[in-house]
A and B are shown apart, each in its own frame.
Chain A
């Protein structure tokens, strides 16, 4: 048993210690908003916050995540109030198929915590998620909207 703290709640998961955090979140904890896309930390669909840092959870072992604060897309809203990135995403109608969007929103939320008003160059450097539908133009606009919210 490994104890994980996910969205503020302690969860004991019965997995091998070398299980990627992604799969513990999806299968053992049952939070499926965090997505599997590649398993090699390339696409970013599985991005969560670990102690506030945007992290690709397919590349983190459960044993290394124990004792840390893990936030998933389901835990981004606080007290029922959407995060400003989620709100901007709705206002600007960003998602298409939406599959990669949990990861992208988590990455953007972390960026805005670090840089309140990111430039386009900051966005290019920090947001490296793959989106096959290609909603990058809307995403960039929504990031600026969220930054100015």
Chain B
């Protein structure tokens, strides 16, 4: 019954001499005649490419796969340069421990911020190109001909003049012994044959038969399971528990304190562990945050809208004079709630601890951070720890923000040395112990002159910083640059798309004791609502068409404008919509990509029907157009679920909502028809998984305003009695 997943068995050996611990310590030596081999004996041409004698090409994928398609996209980029047969490609996740032992040969494992492809495309393409050159070189050497006279197509190397040919599988061993080229040239993307094409995902077949192994599915010989409860109040502690009350329950092995704030039951099955935990008498020391509530947080954030000093993110001209000299001002105050990522797979990790080894199996967006946490928690050096990454049942930033579940799993495993223990959170534990989409309030205040020109804008954000919570070391003189996603004065990552002569965008940082974390899109989601809904408000205030109004302010931002124009045109902006249907626009630049949407909505009483959303995106390069379309449509589900349904309210210092019955998510019935215009303009690499999420909500809100004349400025919409039809 026990199934040991592949990644548990994989190890590397150098030449014939196995290195203790299974790691290829010899890899930083000049390669020379040494051949690094995968566990099955197949030679590693280089860190990215292993070729088996049967011509199977194993491409190593350092980044995590959580549904966003990075695994397939990275494999396409390697295969493109490698010139192998795509139908022979399979993939493998190198472990963080191997990366450490090999001096981070695979680079960064961190998988968030829509960085999977755009931050590693060059590294992996060079890996593929170098492997191709070595394979050709090996064949040329065998034949005694110049490598330049050899060609390769789908893994078959040919020397036309002598009529000889061979295959990658036959020369891989010899290629692995060659000196790798220093700086292999890369193809021009216009010559791509595998990359740039909408090839099917590599991970689908296993997913439709239930074979894919996620963290929750790990099985190891002799494994036990654990259920945990952490103090429901953030910052609180575990006061006491009465383990004797449940110790005799069937299957229960041990009841253990976990750190200072949690308690876990370890049992032969998780259901028995969870049942015993439910019966366990626990007392909490709720600590100083026990009086924190949504109302107290809102009051504090509201006050931040009025303070004089704030952290400046974008400043042009003189906003004070512009406001003082305005013919009139337009003002609106918005707010955005806490939201849980609610990945379908609840947090979990399996750990096995002994005095000289700590191993962790888990779904994580940051394998190297998981390794660091395993080391820190076990007290063992990182070289004696290992993390085996599985597929992720969703991540959305939660599994990048914190490896808290890894920490708990290791603490629990330390109580049972030698025995693997799988820790799984209930959905309730997951919902109430998150790292939430931060709360912010925002005042938009515009100066308009007598000719209806916008002469000034002050955007004041008051609220929480993610970096201050998660990685305070990344603050820049107290400023959280991520707060200003989509609002920056320039750059290709997340620039403000409007030219307003007098502009001030600033942030009164207020960090309530509810942990903030990364989320799909995250800061850009609320920033795009604030900016794009307010632009719509301004257009109406000055009596201009929302598209024409934007065009005038966006003339100096051609990439922002190009996607907006494309979405508006395809949606039929300016032409009559079907009876009862209204349109709304939005645009944003985040994670290096330009995005815009035009939504078509009808409102019938409290029921909002989103008929269609046309989305245009310019990600620079498009590695897999078919998967980009899927990410666009999927991001809209995520963004619109947030808009309509999702708020984690706080009462008594704890999150009130515990499950999908009160924290709903869009179903297939609410899915609008999504039409994607993919317009990669080249010259830069933008992200895909997140950028488009930001334009869905403001486009829909602006369409709802067009339908009803009523502007909604706090979310989710369920609080206004509105539902998605």
Contact = CB atoms under 8 A, between A and B. Distances in A.
Contact of B630 (A33, A105, A130, A135): A135
B347 to A, nearest CB: 12
A12 to B, nearest CB: 13
Contact of A131 (B3, B68, B391, B637): B637
Contacts of A40: 427, 659-661
A53 to B, nearest CB: 19
Given A134-B634, A140-B671, A98 B212 contact: yes
Nearest to B661: A42
A36 B210 CA distance: 13
Interface in A96-140: 96-102, 105, 123-125, 127-140
Given A15-B271, A23-B270, A129-B667, A38 B660 contact: yes
Contacts of B659: 38-40, 42
Contacts of A101: 207-208
A19 B273 CA distance: 12
Contact of A74 (B209, B271, B626, B668): B209
B216 interface: yes
Contacts of A99: 214, 343-345, 393-394
A89 B633 CA distance: 17
B638 interface: yes
Interface string B356-399: 00000000000000000000000000000000000111111000
Interface in B189-217: 200-201, 203-205, 207-214, 216-217
A93 interface: yes
Contacts of B343: 97, 99, 132
A86 interface: yes
A124 B669 contact: yes
Contacts of B219: 30, 32
Tell me what chain A mostly uses at the interface: helix, strand, loop, or mixed. loop
Interface string B625-654: 011001001111110010000000000000
Contacts, number: 187
A33 B211 contact: yes
A96 B668 contact: no
Interface in A63-97: 72-74, 76-77, 82, 86, 89-90, 93-97
A91 B1 CA distance: 31
Given A27-B225, A30-B3, A138-B633, A16 B394 contact: no
B271 A39 contact: no
Contact of A97 (B1, B275, B392, B673): B392
Nearest to A99: B393
B633 A137 contact: yes
Contact of A133 (B1, B209, B427, B634): B634
B426 interface: yes
Contacts of B661: 40, 42
B69 interface: yes
Contacts of A36: 216, 346, 424
B393 A35 contact: yes
A132 B396 contact: yes
Interface string A21-58: 00100011111111111111011010000000000000
B634 A96 contact: yes
Contact of B660 (A30, A42, A86): A42
Contacts of A34: 210
B269 interface: yes
Interface in B215-238: 216-217, 219, 225
A29 B210 CA distance: 14
Nearest to B428: A39
A87 B213 CA distance: 20
A102 B216 CA distance: 14
A2 to B, nearest CB: 13
Given A39-B427, A98-B67, A137-B673, A132 B216 contact: no
B164 interface: no
B187 interface: no
B426 A39 contact: yes
Nearest to A133: B67
A73 B211 CA distance: 9
Contacts of A37: 344-346, 427, 660
B668 A124 contact: yes
B342 interface: yes
A130 B393 contact: no
A95 B211 CA distance: 13
B207 A95 contact: yes
A64 B342 CA distance: 30
Contact of A130 (B209, B213, B667): B667
A96 B343 CA distance: 12
28 contacts: A15-B271, A16-B272, A20-B271, A28-B269, A33-B210, A35-B216, A35-B344, A36-B424, A40-B661, A42-B659, A42-B660, A43-B344, A86-B208, A86-B209, A89-B204, A90-B208, A93-B626, A95-B203, A96-B67, A98-B67, A98-B393, A101-B208, A129-B668, A130-B344, A131-B637, A132-B394, A133-B637, A134-B666
Given A35-B214, A93-B201, A134-B671, 5 more contacts: A37-B427, A39-B426, A98-B204, A98-B208, A140-B668
